[in-house]
Amino acid sequence: MIISFVFFLALFVVIGLSSYFKSQNTASDYYIAGGTLPPWLVGLSAVATNNSGYMFIGVIGYTYATGLASVWLMIGWILGDLAGSLLIHRRFIQVVKQSGEVSFAGVMSVWFQEGRRPLDVLIAIISVIFLLAYTSAQLVAGSKALHVLLSWPMWSGAVIGAVLVALYCMAGGIRASIWTDAAQSFVMMVAMALLLVVAVSGLGGTGSAILQLESVDGFMDWNPKDLVVDGILGVLLFVLGWFFAGLSTLAQPHIMVRFMALNKVENLVRARVWYYAWFIIFYCLATAVGLLSRVYLPDTGTFDAELALPSMAMNLLPGIFVGLILAGIFAATMSTADSLVMSCSAAISQDLLKGKINSKIGLTITTVLIVVFALAWALVGEGSVFQLVIFAWSGLASAFGPLLITLCFGYRPKVSAAVSAIVIGLVVAVAWRVLGWHGWIYEGLPAMSCGFGILMFYHLMDLRRERKA
């Protein structure tokens, strides 16, 4: 198994590092691959970095703990993600092509004709903080997989992952991450399907598997557990909350940068087809594996649910396929971590430092320093990959989502209005989670609603002033 893992991981790494031969010594090439990528590569890379350790470790673990009701998360998330794509992506990519910006913060702030500097700095600082948290979660996800399957110390996976991320950054920048994403997307689709087939066969077929799942008390109930509001209303609120989580994709710099790299705006529809086809098929496979893992790995009260996938693979598959799955998980988490780090680097070099660092050597040094900080966070911090990713995800969405949607629809708020919406949305999201109210509804919904409310208030005030004038 170790030999298989090392072989397949080395294969993924070679694919990523080979991007060095396509790299150019420009910030545009380093951060968005020069905006030259074909739609199939953009779609596969975007969906892979969207899911990565969150899907392999977090969602399967959540399904193991929650049961059939976890499908509502999937439904809400994908619908919200699609809504965000239809609202934002075309306008966003058009601004990228027209402005030449290579960072998420730069694209957002380019809409403002004056007074951009405070907005640049605020967006960049928030991006760096939450993307570092997100990166540490990816390193922890890789560590958990190695710990279960190879019995390596928990810290070892984070260290190895950080080294690989640094190598990717020194090789081809974002292109290295995107190439690796595409390779592991195909591999993990096959591996997850294989694991599902073997798991169902081991239980005596589909019918027998369903009967055994139904024997687990409450596991096949449609209603999510621990809802504050019971019944259909509770389910609707649950789905609505995760709809906003999916909508929040539009405010994730590490995902949006994939679409910034698209070669032509006209190819966006084709990129979407690749994105959502992979997303839906793989999400269904992951949910099914998560459900079956509860039969193979009974809940003892001490089992870490986020270890369900690697534990299932180790119990059911030959060593060569276990190594393949582990390498795929690890490569996915690392390529996502790489893109998160790259987004942090862009925020620092292009927005905080206003493009003063543009040589590849300077950009690489900046990026490697960020990797060191993310590794330190992963080694010191503890907690659930699922919860840490959701916290980082909701923080970015609550801060940037309302403003981004507003800008794309033509409203140009003053900088004071934009800053107020960002700060209040972020404060509400953090407070909502700290108070534990996310068990009632995902914090992105109230936080983004507050952000929209602030922008609407300023807009009405502007209209009132215009009438008086």
Strand-pairing partners, residue 262, are 37
Cβ atoms within 10 Å, residue 80: 24
* C-alpha to C-alpha distance for 133 and 394, rounded to whole angstroms: 12
pTM for the complete prediction? 0.84
**Domain 2-382 classified CATH 1.20.1730.10?**
yes
Per-residue 3-state assignment (H helix, E strand, C coil) for 155-191: HHHHHHHHHHHHHHHHHCCHHHHHHHHHHHHHHHHHH
Whole-number pLDDT of residue 143: 79
* pLDDT value at residue 85: 93
Distances in whole angstroms, Cα of residue 414 to Cα of each of 110, 407, 411, 424: 13, 11, 10, 16
Question: Tell me, what's the pLDDT at 469?
Answer: 64
Confidence at residue 260, expressed as pLDDT on a 0 to 100 scale: 93
The pLDDT assigned to 95 comes to 87
Question: What is residue 112's predicted lDDT score, i.e. its pLDDT?
Answer: 63
Looking at residue 319, its pLDDT comes to 82
What pLDDT is stored for residue 276 in this prediction?
Answer: 95
Contacts 24+ apart (CB under 8 A), 235-238: 235/72, 237/440, 237/441, 238/72, 238/73, 238/76, 238/441
CB-CB contact of 268 with 96 (8 Å): no
106 Cα distance to chain centroid: 20
* Distances in whole angstroms, Cα of residue 192 to Cα of each of 8, 29, 327, 459: 16, 33, 13, 49
Which residues, at least 6 apart from 226, have a Cβ–Cβ distance to it below 8 Å? 439
Round to whole Å and give the CA distance between 99 and 114. 15
pLDDT tens string, the chain, 469 residues long: the values are 788 888 888 888 888 888 888 888 788 888 888 899 999 999 998 988 887 666 667 778 888 888 888 888 889 989 999 999 998 999 889 988 988 888 887 787 776 655 456 777 888 888 888 888 888 887 887 777 677 667 888 788 888 888 888 887 777 778 888 888 888 788 778 888 888 999 999 999 999 988 898 888 778 887 766 665 666 777 787 788 889 888 988 888 888 989 999 999 999 999 999 999 999 998 888 889 989 988 888 865 667 777 788 788 888 888 888 888 777 777 777 777 877 888 888 888 877 777 566 666 777 788 888 888 888 888 886 556 667 777 788 889 899 999 888 888 878 888 888 889 999 999 999 899 888 887 777 888 899 999 999 999 988 888 888 787 6
